Amino acid sequence: MTPVVAWRRPAKAGPATPLVVLLHGRGADEYDLLDIANFLPRAYTYASVRAPVPVEGGGYTWFENRGVARPIPQSIASSTAAFRAWLDDPAIGCATQTCYLVGFSAGMMMAAALALDDPSRFAGAVLLSGAIAFDGARHASDGRLTGFRAFYGRGTLDDVIPQELVSQTDAYLRGRSGATLTFREYPHGHSISRAELEDVALWFES
């Protein structure tokens, strides 16, 4: 099934244009993160993808869950496979081999699952205000992300993601994963601040 995607393309987009995929949080849709493109490199193509699982009350998410930030492994695996099938479709028409992931909250879980599934497939990932779904992360082994470029940002006042999962994610990304990591904390809750976006922009420029 082809996902619903909101696009932001530069005037001179072509086959060599890098792609940034935006992965929204639970209860949102493909337009939720699209304005992030205003802070990031103008020469890139941005694809904000709608998650496949409808949420009661409105919006979508990337997986069915058994509690806050606790995906059902089969569900997140199915979404990961569907995403990869979409990304590998030549009809997308841009440099999907130079693809960055930007995920917020549940979208961070999805981005981390994709990166862990095949680190060589992506140029890097921006992981914001979420956690790694260790129950469904088949490849969260020591050194799995060696050399992989990642930005990990979170709010110190975030009370949405269970602290146990945040601590596990922190320990893995900042240590055992082997990732080439930029880590930042901000004095806000479960959100993305302007200061955070400015740091993400610097990460892209580097």
Domain boundaries along the sequence of the chain: 5-205
CB 167 within 8 A of CB 137: no
What Rg, from alpha-carbon coordinates, does the chain have? 16
The 8-class DSSP code of residue 65 comes to B
**CATH class of the 5-205 domain in this structure:** alpha beta
Q: What is the pTM of this model?
A: 0.96
Q: How far apart are CA 39 and CA 72, in angstroms?
A: 33
**What pLDDT tens digit does each residue of the chain (206 aa) get?**
689 999 999 988 877 889 999 999 999 999 999 999 999 999 999 999 999 999 999 999 999 999 888 999 999 999 999 999 999 888 776 666 799 999 999 999 999 999 999 999 999 999 999 999 987 666 889 999 999 999 999 999 999 999 999 999 999 999 999 999 999 999 999 999 999 999 999 999 99
Long-range Cβ contacts of 192-197 (<8 Å, 24+ apart): 192/36, 192/104, 192/128, 192/129, 192/153, 193/155, 196/128, 196/153, 197/36, 197/39, 197/40
